[in-house]
Amino acid sequence: MDDILDLCDCSEQFSMPLIGDRAPSFVASTTDGIVTFPDDFAGKWVVLFSHPSDFTPVCTTEFIAFQNDLKYFEEINTKLLGLSVGTLSSHLAWFDSISKMYNGATITFPLIDDMNMQVAKLYGMIHENSSNTSAVRAVFIIDPKGIIRAILYYPSVLGRNLWEIRRMIIGLQTSDAFGVGLPVNWEPGDDVLTPAPITNSAMRKHGNVSPWFLRYKELAERDIYEKICKKHGDKK
């Protein structure tokens, strides 16, 4: 009986949030001040992403890439929030080194001070078979209601594909706005999928379309961005 209880305790210890869960809340110090998450980001999409540690080559290239794409993320109503198992002084020193290496580049999105690994453990970013003192390259895409919509994990040696992260956010926003599915390798402007009928009468309305469960339709890239921008309150 004790063995069973031990196993149950272990599974609880390593539980992590899943797609569809409400993003776990926390208050943390960052390079931009105190953050109350997700309340401070209400109404915005968020990319919460973790790094193994400061002053590492792969992490440095990712931070520059995220900063270079910051305007694009802002255009699709998305905020970036980084996490690294390190102190604020270490984060700031790393930012200073990045600035010197990249001609004065400034990292303007916040990086969480998570030296005690509290947030990393809350989000299941510590994978003990990889390391018990640093976070894996995790990505949590969280919607404006604070719901986790997608999760990605990368090993420490492999940098993230930022285009895929952007594609996922646009895809989720497109699906929400138009009620459609998105086929393999979809990019904005490609055909989308209408929902498969779930009643006999709805299936008959499809007529002689074959197969009845797979039906494409056009959706212009312009229409996607127009609707998303309006939804975000952009009247331009």
Active site residues: 59
* Whole-number Cα distances in Å, 76 to 110, 195, 230, 231, 235: 18, 24, 11, 10, 14
Residue of 195, 163, 165 whose CA lies nearest to 178: 195
Token duo for residue 152 = 């990605």
Centre a 10 Å sphere on the Cβ of residue 222 and count the other Cβ atoms it contains.
10
**From CA 161, how far away is CA 233, in angstroms rounded?**
29
**From CA 150, how far away is CA 143, in angstroms rounded?**
9
Token duo for residue 63 = 């931070």
Buried b (16+ CB within 10 A) or exposed e, 104-135: eeebebbbbbbeebebbebbbbbbeeeeeebb
